[in-house]
């Protein structure tokens, strides 16, 4: 059964990918590729696996614009968990290796998302500065996983990288934290488990950065992480 579900997931991934790539040409106008792909991908895979995502605090999601969304990162399945609620006019910050993933890398690039070389500090800092300009000039929101990598540790949250918080302070935009309940009991590629059930997602109230300076980035990151940990414990 695992392999059948895996095959169906792979086929739906191809359908969602091709649909997201071809739709703008079919209707002769620009589309929000990130949102279209996320929602289409999520819609099919959640039904294949019979997983229901319950969202709390959805009214916070697009209450302000633009914002920096900071989200806990458990696995590649996060695309499905959060795809159904991915906000409009939002781009993603990710590592440059994403561009080399077949098909998905094309969608990532067409979606105007930002690739950063985290191994090279100078380029990474320059990339964050570019993100700040993009927010201010194009009025887009940013979606980022502040842990910087998938969390296989079994802990609720890994230590946060500071990039997301630097961007929010420099751009003078709010932070909206989002957390998902533990995924491993439903989906584990290592243990070959694809089960039905409920995933809970909570969108937390916006955190203002208007009165903060760059030397307060560390405090902001810790305060945000604390709020997300508290939310994870209660869902």
Paired residues of 178 in beta bridges: 71, 203
The band of 28, judged by pLDDT with boundaries at 50, 70 and 90, is very low
Task: Encode pLDDT of 90-119 as tens digits.
Answer: 998 877 777 777 777 777 777 778 777 655
Range with lowest mean pLDDT among 69-78, 155-164, 203-212? 155-164
Q: What local confidence, expressed as pLDDT, does residue 220 receive?
A: 96
Hey, where are the domains in the chain? 2-234
How many residues are present in the chain? 235
Q: What local confidence, expressed as pLDDT, does residue 63 receive?
A: 79
Q: What local confidence, expressed as pLDDT, does residue 119 receive?
A: 58
Query: CA 54, CA 199: separation in Å to the nearest integer?
Result: 6
Burial label for 8, CB within 10 Å (0-12, 13-18, 19+), is: middle
Query: CA 93, CA 142: separation in Å to the nearest integer?
Result: 7
Q: What local confidence, expressed as pLDDT, does residue 27 receive?
A: 46
Burial readout 192-205 (b: 16 or more C-beta within 10 A, e: otherwise): eebeeeebbbbbbe
Burial readout 86-102 (b: 16 or more C-beta within 10 A, e: otherwise): bbeebbbbbebebeeee
Dig out the tokens for 71 from the structure. Answer: 């989200």
CATH number attached to the domain at 2-234: 3.40.1130.10
Mean pLDDT to the nearest integer, 121-142: 76
The band of 188, judged by pLDDT with boundaries at 50, 70 and 90, is confident
Query: CA 127, CA 124: separation in Å to the nearest integer?
Result: 5
Q: Is the model's pLDDT at 30 over the cut of 60?
A: no
Cβ atoms of residues 5 and 48 within 8 Å:
yes
**26 contacts: CB under 8 Å, gap ≥ 6:** none
Mean pLDDT to the nearest integer, 194-210: 94
CA-angle at 156, arms to 150 and 157, nearest 5°: 55
Task: Encode pLDDT of 51-85 as tens digits.
Answer: 999 999 999 998 778 999 999 999 889 999 999 99
Q: What is the DSSP string of 149-194?
A: S---SSSS-PPPPSHHHHHHHHHT--EEEEEE---TTTEETTTTEE
Q: What is the DSSP string of 31-52?
A: --HHHHHHHHHHHHHHHHHTEE
Where do we find the tokens 């890994």?
Answer: 158
Cβ atoms of residues 202 and 82 within 8 Å:
no
Cβ atoms of residues 118 and 162 within 8 Å:
no
Q: What local confidence, expressed as pLDDT, does residue 165 receive?
A: 94
Mean pLDDT to the nearest integer, 29-52: 88
Q: What local confidence, expressed as pLDDT, does residue 26 receive?
A: 47
Cβ atoms of residues 220 and 164 within 8 Å:
no
Cβ atoms of residues 57 and 204 within 8 Å:
yes
Query: CA 155, CA 98: separation in Å to the nearest integer?
Result: 25
**pTM, to two decimals:** 0.89
């Amino acid at each position: 059964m695992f392999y059948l579900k895996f095959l169906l997931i792979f086929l739906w991934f191809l359908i969602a990918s091709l649909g997201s790539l071809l739709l703008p040409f079919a209707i002769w106008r620009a589309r929000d590729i990130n949102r279209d792909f996320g929602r289409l991908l999520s819609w099919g895979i959640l039904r294949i696996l019979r997983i229901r995502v319950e969202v709390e605090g959805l009214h916070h999601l697009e209450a302000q614009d633009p914002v920096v969304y900071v989200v806990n990162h458990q696995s590649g399945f996060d695309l499905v968990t959060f795809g159904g609620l991915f906000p409009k006019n939002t781009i993603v910050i990710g590592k440059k290796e994403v561009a080399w993933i077949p098909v998905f890398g094309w969608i990532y690039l067409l979606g105007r998302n930002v690739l950063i070389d985290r191994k090279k500090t100078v380029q990474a800092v320059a990339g964050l500065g570019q993100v700040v300009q993009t927010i201010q000039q194009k009025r887009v929101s940013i979606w980022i996983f502040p842990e910087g990598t998938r969390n296989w540790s079994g802990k609720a949250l890994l230590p946060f990288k500071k990039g997301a918080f630097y961007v929010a302070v420099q751009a003078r935009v709010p932070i909206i934290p989002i957390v998902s309940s533990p995924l491993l009991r439903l989906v584990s590629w290592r243990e070959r488990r694809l089960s039905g059930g409920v995933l809970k997602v909570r969108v937390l109230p916006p955190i203002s950065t208007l009165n903060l300076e760059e030397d307060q980035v560390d405090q902001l990151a810790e305060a945000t992480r604390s709020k997300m940990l508290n939310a994870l414990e209660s869902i």
